[in-house]
A and B are shown apart, each in its own frame.
Chain A
Amino acid sequence: MWRVLDLYRRLLAVQIRAQLQYRIAFWFDLLGTAGITTLEFGTLALILQRFENVGGWKLGEVAFLYGLIDMAFGTMDMLFSGFDPPFFGQQVRQGRFDQLLLRPVNITLQVLGSRFEMRRLGRIAQGGLIVGAALALTKAHWTLAKVIYLPVVFVSQVSFFGGLFIVGATITFWTVESIEVINIFTYGGNEMMCYPMHVYPDWMRRFFTFVVPAIFLNYYPALYFLDKPDPFNMPPFVSFLAPVAGLGVLVAALAFWRFGIRHYASTGS
């Protein structure tokens, strides 16, 4: 176990040192990734001056969804960037994945350590600021239970998105090219989860409830944190399904990943 962790630490250290080589480029990257969130959220904040709410949710409440999801997606995108489907597809195509398979170290660990995108820190920080703003703007009553549950939801969200990345990466074993449709679930899911789920058409919300359980990771926990009523009249325990949904997706994705590796036939390049 210690050996594994030590290896992971070393793999990351190499990545971090490499990324800090071009310092100016690194800062631009950091600003760029932070900028996307800031501008998108800033846009929303600006037009909410005119509209006042989105589907009945005020700026602070949407900010809570928005900031938390952005922090989680940013964290996942940093930790799991080795599994980022377009990147991973390229590794498969160029035969670099075969090199990893030859090494006597756990393959999942190697892929995790093969890329660590530090510039995502910009996005994580930005998401944190938005959550801060949300806490200042909303008057939710923060009980001890909520304070304990919040990090659990965050970790669940990270596992959820990580699972989606792993599924996307595994599919490239068969398709070789990264299939862009996975973006609908990863980036699309991220964008979708920034807003209260009741604004979406029924078919879409049902899909993101029963097929991809996104609704349990942001909307239902948020109803609990912000003391909001549930327009769909689900039982109240649904707000606490985040860890089940998040870890469930990750575990299922890892099982699929192992299945993929067992059936992996190299491209031969």
Chain B
Amino acid sequence: MRLFWELAKLSFQRQLTYRAATLAGLATNFFFGILRASVLMGLYGARPEVAGISLAGAVTYTGLTQAVIAFLSFFGWSEVMNSVYSGEIGSDLLKPMNFFTFWLAKDLGRAVANFFTRGLTIMLAYALVFDITWPSTVVQWLALGLAIVLSWLLSFSWRFLVNLTAFWTPNAYGIIRLAFTLSWFLTGFLMPLRFFPKWAVQFAYLTPFPHTVNTVTEVYLGLVTGPALVGALLGQLLWILVLIGAGQLVLRAGVRRLVIQGG
């Protein structure tokens, strides 16, 4: 366990050293956030509320989606794949730690650093220029904290699983890119899933993706309460278990056919 925290700490510190990249990322996320908020305002027109989401709620939603981009490595993450291609995985597999846990620790450090530098900061910048909403009850804040942690775990388990395709193909970049792209739509990152027709929402909920961004935004905006809130968090937990299980099975099959080139 000590090893886990040390790895996470190292990765956290490493992430903090990329100051220029953090600033540039913040500027970009903020700019895109304003764009998307403007489009939503254009969509709302004179309507005060759509599908239970107020205009202020919709603007807040665009801030939240920009705030989770870096935290959840939303635009792509291929570190495990790279380690397969570079052969680094050989020494990583020899470490006295489960391969999944090893990467989980590294990703934890990365995620926590980004949560503060590119998550909270975005929301604060949003609060400066827009009328945004905040969770109102203690229960809602607690549920939000839990939902955020679970969304990271879910996102990581899924990213890990997709990266394992590297064991089977000499160039998994395209597959990973396609997988990430699909996830943008299904997570509710492009638009709140509530705005979609019913069939599209039902389809999205057959996959693990809405349990990341969409759940976090719905908990934040107070759209799910009571039993529905508990159900949302349990849904996250369930998918985490499924994805971790699948990751372990695929990893075992992949390692069996792994060839590390010498040199």
B50 contacts across to A, CB distance below 8 A:
50-51
- Tell me the nearest residue of chain A to B174, going by C-beta: A28
A20 interface hit (Cβ, 8 Å): no
A184 interface hit (Cβ, 8 Å): yes
Q: Are A199 and B169 in contact (CB under 8 A)?
A: no
B17 to chain A minimum Cβ distance, whole angstroms, is 13
- Bound-state CA distance A192–B37 (Å) is 11
Q: Are A188 and B31 in contact (CB under 8 A)?
A: yes
Partner of A39, one of B181, B195, B197: B181
- Tell me the nearest residue of chain A to B22, going by C-beta: A180
- Tell me the nearest residue of chain B to A46, going by C-beta: B196
Chain B residues near A (Cβ < 8 Å): 20-21, 24-25, 27-28, 31-32, 34-35, 38-39, 41-45, 50-51, 169-175, 177-178, 181-182, 184-185, 190-191, 195-197, 200
B39 contacts across to A, CB distance below 8 A:
54, 195, 199
B129 to chain A minimum Cβ distance, whole angstroms, is 9
Q: Which of the segments A29-37, A105-113, A227-235 contacts the partner chain?
A: A29-37
A99 interface hit (Cβ, 8 Å): no
B173 contacts across to A, CB distance below 8 A:
25, 29
A57 to chain B minimum Cβ distance, whole angstroms, is 8
- Bound-state CA distance A200–B33 (Å) is 12
- Tell me the nearest residue of chain B to A204, going by C-beta: B34
Q: Are B42 and A54 in contact (CB under 8 A)?
A: yes
A29 contacts across to B, CB distance below 8 A:
173-174, 177
A98 interface hit (Cβ, 8 Å): no
Q: Are B197 and A46 in contact (CB under 8 A)?
A: yes
Q: 11 pairs across A/B with beta carbons < 8 Å?
A: A25-B169, A25-B173, A29-B173, A39-B182, A39-B190, A50-B51, A53-B45, A184-B31, A191-B35, A195-B42, A196-B42
